[in-house]
Amino acid sequence: MKDTKKYYSTLAPFYHLFYPNWEESINCQASMFDCVIKEKWGDVSTVLDVSCGIGTQAIGLAKLGYDVTGSDLSPEAIERAKREAANRDLSISLSVADMRYAYDHHMSEFDVVLCADNSISHLLSDDEILTAFRQFYKCCRPGGGCVLSVRDFEKMDLSKQEMKPYGIREEGGIRWLIWQVLDPHPPTFDLTMYFAEDRGKDECKTHIMRSTYYTIGIKRLMELMLEVGFIDVKRLDSKNTQPIIIATRGQNNDM
């Protein structure tokens, strides 16, 4: 994955600044994913978050009583997730792993496999996504499910460079100004995040992180999930700011 490990490792100390209130977002996302899981698969308990980052979804689901296992490509993100979980007295099994080798790493089946925050689009080809989906499938118990949250690239104007402001955050006497720039080169685009750290002096320090995304459409993602054996693949649009894809591993079907 081009630059993805470096991107999230550099981003780990700042990731919570994406949100005006990270704790509120943790709780909100957990409530939303909890509703999706219960509506589709009932009262299940084990969740594998294959792109857990610093713990935004994993922490929230653990707070709701799920038995959560999390992994991420970035060692720095995992170390922060461990600290954040410990600070909340939560027991979450966390380790470093590339989502393309999720089953090879965890060697276990779970009720639900979660891949949130458009993480799947860091895989830059259909073949790489198929590799990951095959691993997600093996991580799902028969009858269990997979949940993705993704960006709807088909609704974005990817014909030109774009700047998106995230806003101003105040933390510990520091003012943070945050924005991103998208540089498209279909079928991918480069994303650059800027975190300007203003400590009230004449100059400020700007932290810069860069990564690349594959502008795969939601319909194509759903086709690839069907190709690896998932059934009942659906798109949900009313549960989150990002569209959600849900899919089920059949009771008896094998790859």
- How much is the average pLDDT of 81-92? 97
Residue 1 confidence (pLDDT)? 45
161-198: pLDDT as tens digits: 999 999 999 999 999 999 999 999 999 999 999 999 99
pLDDT band at residue 140 using 50, 70 and 90 as cut-offs = very high
Dist CA 143 CA 136 (whole Å): 13
pLDDT recorded at residue 236? 95
Q: Per-residue pLDDT for 22 more than 90?
A: yes
Query: What pLDDT score was predicted for residue 253?
Result: 59
> Each residue of 32-78: pLDDT tens digit?
999 999 999 999 999 999 999 999 999 999 999 999 999 999 999 99
CB burial string 155-164: b at 16+ within 10 A, e below: eeebeeeeee
- Which of 61, 62, 139, 60 lies closest to 97 in space, CA to CA? 139
Kind and range of the H or E element at 174? strand 174-185
| pLDDT tens, residue by residue, 91-131 | 999 999 999 999 999 999 999 999 999 999 999 999 999 99
Phi, psi (rounded to 5 degrees) for 245: -115, 130
Residues of the chain with pLDDT > 90, as a percent, come to 93
Q: How confident is the model at residue 251 (pLDDT cuts 50, 70, 90)?
A: confident
Q: Which residues contact 58 (CB under 8 A, 6 or more apart)?
A: 47, 49, 52, 68, 70, 81, 85, 92, 94
